[in-house]
Chains A and B, each alone.
Chain A
Amino acid sequence: MTFVRPNFRHPENETNDIGYSIKNYEGALSTLCAGCGHDSISAALIKSCFDLNLEPHKIAKISGIGCSSKTPTYFLGKAHGFNSVHGRMPSVTTGANMANRDLLYIGVSGDGDTASIGMGQFAHVVRRNLNMIYIVMNNGCYGLTKGQDSATADKGSAGKKGVPSAFDSIDLCQLALQLGAGFVARSFSGDKKQLVPLIKAAIKHRGFAFIDVVSPCVTFNNTPTSTKGYEWVRDHLEATGTVDFIPQKSEITIDYPAGSTRNLLLHDGSELLLHKNADDYDLSSRKAAMNRIETTKEKGQILTGLIYHDSTATDTHALIDTVERPLNSLAQEDLCPGSSVLEQLNGSMR
């Protein structure tokens, strides 16, 4: 990998509607292995935030531990980041979100971080429908400790050590569906065209948005015998309808044959344009989504794209009925009942 990133930017490099160039969305230089799928996901996040005209400092990026969890250093350098403890990104994000509902929370985790040590916290953050996007950079192995199988490694899949995984794998999309996530998608780090619109839609979704991104580990799990390697994944992708993200104010300029697309409305009025394919199903049906994942799996393929979408789910703040103002902005006079109330309370305890 390169250790120097040129500062030079083409003078005609475009800026977005709030006057930021893409540079304002970048982070520190990645220290991951050259060719790591995770870096492509970071790039997709940068592109998505740039395109959506998000103010970087209004984003909080929170991760657990592992290669994937290192990536928040490599995107959105103007945003606060928090590399917490292994498997505990969901609870830290929950607390942060409770304190300030106005920021965008990007949670980054890995398959070890989510499907093993953090399984409990993953399940419960889904159940609470926290307003966040939760990205799993899924490579089927523990990269940072040199390639042990993770719980998402498919049975029989073998990485660099050549030993096939003995256990059934955990499908995080199915799990998220079963636990009630309102937005469930899967993508591939090598498919930027699919990933960027999915991330944008996830950002616009109010409530819990889950994206499982298969992201090959070039060092330990990119063998022909691995079901998480570039080659295998590329050959076995089966996408749900292609997705385009249409911002709220944009006109839909892309022209598709009538009847071949359909629109999904997101919370702020932006839309997802879906190009149907032959065996399209109802994306708002959890049962259909579950079924489709299973049938695709039976064929030995991986289902990618937007898998399930329900815009009606109520997020945590709505469920516990908190005020619109961020709790961290409430001042002492908003919070402290004062001495006269205490006098009354004393009186009631005699």
Chain B
Amino acid sequence: MSEIKNLCATNDFVIRFANVNGSGSASANNLFSKAVFRLGVPVSSKNIFPSNIQGLPTWFEVRINEQGYLGRRGGYDFIVAVNGQTMIRDYHDLLPGGYFFYDSSKRLPDTFTRNDIVEIGIPLTEICNANYTEPRLRQIFKNIIYVGALAYLFDMDFSVFEESIKSQFAKKEKLIAPNIQALKLGYDYAEAHHNRVCGLNIHRRDLNGEQILMEGNAAAGLGAVYAGATVAGWYPITPSTSVVEAFEKYCRAYRVDEATGKNKFAILQAEDELAAIGIVIGASWNGARAFTATSGPGVSLMSEFLGLAYFSEIPVMLMDIQRTGPSTGMPTRTQQSDVLSAAYASHGDTKNVLLFPANPTECFELTVEGFDLAERLQTPVILMSDLDLGMNVHQCDPLTWDDGRMYDRGKVLNEQQLTDLSEKWGRYLDVDGDGIPYRTIPGAHPEKGAYFTRGSSHDEYAAYTEDGEVYARGMQRLLVKWDTAKKLVPAAEITGANSAIGVIYYGTSDYSSQEALDTLRSNQAIDSMRIRAFPFGAEVAQFVENHDVLFVIEQNRDAQMKSLLVNELAVNPNKVITVLNIDGMPITATFLVSEIQQHLAKISTASQIQEA
């Protein structure tokens, strides 16, 4: 038997929970990760779940990292294996020296023969059976018992769990004691049988400051409340559903008229995504702030309507919580693969404004900003979130709101302005040179400002036309507006200035990219740019121009952002190296470092050969 070198680390390891979905494991696992957070140690968790409600495997990955790296690292140091279906796979996924935690009520099968890991058996079923008679409680508390055992094994301050339980069940007080008791059952068993076995520890720090734990979708839904959205049309689709659910929850909390008890919001579950976006367009046209949330398949269905909104210049706020495509793809896995279909959604020459949040704080901020941009630019704005961001709980900066901030409702003529107007008003007339005309809201004025909105070609006064010149003039004016958009959208975040090598990334690749860049920069100066919006601002064009080698990190197969950069900025495609992850799991820093290092090595060899 070879010698086992146990993994030893404090506040720096990855744990995987292997569960069966529908077994109540999610709340237990969240209890664990929240406890880590409350110990002041940075934590990130990923729920890897099936497209199913009950009975299939689900995993929950928690990365504990006191340096603050929140992306996926890759590899597992500790596995809680409580799902018989995946046990053998989990067993083999464990890193050498890692810890395999299992329910020892049943002996591990003979095929489990690794001798480079530590097996920690806790008889969860037996403990449950001895302490609980009701089958439902046995199931629920089994999860809590393993959390209790982990608290001991990782040498965690037990009081933080007690506090969590107390605040979680503040409104159901009688559940507090039994939950704490279940935690203790696990804790005590581990203490009695696995004393000093585990070399992984989670010790109290004070690194989390004012940060919060939040899902991106909840932040986007809350952003829509703060932005003053009153109408939402939507159709259920993973992973976007929780955006509208959050919007509704926060509306019920903050948008019910005190005097009458009536709602200052209208949420309609539509018959499909076409109707959902139709509702948004109708409401926006009529002067309300409206939005919908969907995923890639929904964007495909909404494409015709997006073209109408683009061409007839109606504000639209759309949230695309991307998942793995094409077609139904892997509905519960993440990807950044709608970039092109969203940017150019619809037939004919169309371009849509995209915003790329990288964390829940930005989901909130860019949603608020998205509503302003949609109304300022009178065009669709698409928030490009993804499943990883939307449906996982992320540690992020607290949300802030400046009470002095006023909504930008864009160029809308009210009754008085219409009355005072001396010249003839044209709905599609560019009077300011920024490509953005003035609009009116139905019902605003008895005599002036009524016009006919249409997706067919129209002149500056909204009259139907088949005059090619007039049509072309309108289309060119939309490009002037597009140029205006470049100056209004959030700027890219750029780090460094002098290297010939630039790394470009966006959205949730931010976490792993930052970590990878920290590693790579120890050997090589590298500049980086996180794109936050499309159309690309001047700073993006400048960055691309200024670097000889550009790495573009994406979570899709076809390097869609690269296509967009090459297409829109006339970048030489030969200087772009793509680093792509498409397995539906959030991209890892390990992968990025290894990919980029390989390319850098090749480049340096090539340049040496050239010099010689």
Chain A residues with CB under 8 Å of chain B are 55-58, 60, 62, 72-73, 77-85, 88, 90-100, 102-103, 120-121, 123-124, 128, 316-317, 320-324, 327-328, 330, 332, 334-339, 341-342, 345-346, 349-350
Contacts and interface: CB of A to CB of B under 8 A. Distances in A.
Contact of A91 (B278, B443, B450): B278
A332 B407 CA distance: 7
Nearest to B210: A346
B402 interface: yes
Contact of B275 (A58, A120, A317, A346): A120
A328 B286 contact: yes
A339 B402 contact: yes
Interface string B276-292: 11111111111110100
B262 A95 contact: no
B458 to A, nearest CB: 10
A61 B555 CA distance: 45
A78 B308 CA distance: 23
A342 B286 contact: no
Contacts of B230: 98-99, 327-328, 330, 335
12 contacts: A73-B452, A77-B450, A80-B443, A80-B450, A85-B278, A96-B285, A322-B264, A323-B263, A330-B230, A334-B264, A336-B225, A350-B37
A85 B270 CA distance: 17
Given A94-B233, A349-B212, A349-B214, A328 B285 contact: no
Interface residues of B, number: 75
Contact of A337 (B225, B271, B278): B225
Interface in B445-466: 445-447, 450-456, 464
Interface stretch (B253-261, B500-508, B575-583, B593-601): B253-261
B305 interface: yes
Contacts of A85: 278, 304-305, 308, 455
B288 A327 contact: yes
Given A99-B287, A336-B401, 7 more contacts: A82-B453, A84-B278, A91-B279, A91-B282, A98-B288, A120-B275, A128-B268
Contacts of B211: 350
B272 interface: yes
A339 B405 CA distance: 11
B403 interface: yes
B403 A339 contact: yes
A121 B266 contact: no
A88 B278 contact: yes
Contact of B278 (A81, A121, A322, A336): A121
B271 A322 contact: no
Given A99-B230, A327-B230, A342-B399, A335 B264 contact: yes
Interface of B: 37-38, 208, 210-214, 222, 225-228, 230-231, 233, 250, 254-255, 257, 260-268, 270-272, 274-288, 290, 304-305, 308, 398-403, 406-407, 440-447, 450-456, 464
Contacts of B266: 98, 317, 320, 322, 327
Contacts of A322: 262-266
Nearest to A103: B443
Given A80-B451, A83-B455, A91 B275 contact: yes
A95 B400 CA distance: 30
Nearest to B272: A120
3 nearest A-B residue pairs (beta carbon): A95-B282, A91-B278, A99-B288
Contacts of B442: 57, 60, 79-80, 96, 100, 103
Contacts of B271: 120-121, 123-124
A94 B450 contact: no
Contacts of A349: 212-214
A99 B455 contact: no
B286 A337 contact: no
Given A73-B452, A88-B305, A337-B226, A95 B212 contact: no
Contacts of B441: 328
A37 to B, nearest CB: 22
A268 to B, nearest CB: 19
Nearest to B407: A332
A102 B263 CA distance: 16
B243 to A, nearest CB: 16
A80 B427 CA distance: 12
B402 A124 contact: no
Contacts of A342: 226, 399-401
Contacts of B451: 80-81
Contacts of A78: 446-447, 450
A102 B260 CA distance: 18
Contacts, number: 223
B464 A73 contact: yes
A100 B268 contact: no
A327 B275 contact: no
B445 A57 contact: yes
Contact of B443 (A57, A81, A341): A57
B275 A339 contact: no
B275 A82 contact: no
Given A83-B452, A84-B281, A349-B213, A124 B275 contact: yes
Contacts of B225: 335-337
Contacts of B288: 98-100, 327-328
B264 A330 contact: yes
A102 B441 CA distance: 13
Contact of A323 (B257, B450, B455): B257
Contacts of B407: 332
B251 to A, nearest CB: 10
Nearest to A337: B254
A82 B285 contact: yes
B540 to A, nearest CB: 31
Most buried by A among B208, B403, B454: B454
B452 A81 contact: yes
Contacts of B272: 120
Contact of A350 (B212, B222, B281): B212
Nearest to A70: B464
B257 A98 contact: no
A99 B267 contact: no
B275 A88 contact: yes
B498 to A, nearest CB: 38
Contacts of B304: 85
B392 to A, nearest CB: 14
Most buried by B among A93, A94, A320: A94
A55 B282 CA distance: 21
Contacts of A96: 282-283, 285-286, 442
Contacts of A121: 271, 274-275, 278
Most buried by B among A94, A327, A330: A327
Most buried by B among A62, A92, A95, A317: A95
A320 B268 contact: yes
A72 B464 CA distance: 13
Contacts of B208: 350
Given A91-B278, A92-B281, A98-B288, A332 B228 contact: yes
A139 B38 CA distance: 69
Nearest to A88: B278
Contacts of B282: 62, 82, 84, 91-99
Contacts of A332: 228, 406-407
Nearest to B38: A350
Nearest to B262: A323
Nearest to B287: A328
Nearest to A84: B308
A266 B282 CA distance: 27
Given A327-B231, A328-B287, A80 B214 contact: no
B286 A60 contact: yes
Given A339-B400, A341-B254, A95 B308 contact: no
Nearest to A123: B271
B400 A321 contact: no
A92 B452 contact: no
A121 B233 CA distance: 13
Contacts of B450: 56-57, 77-81
A99 B286 contact: yes
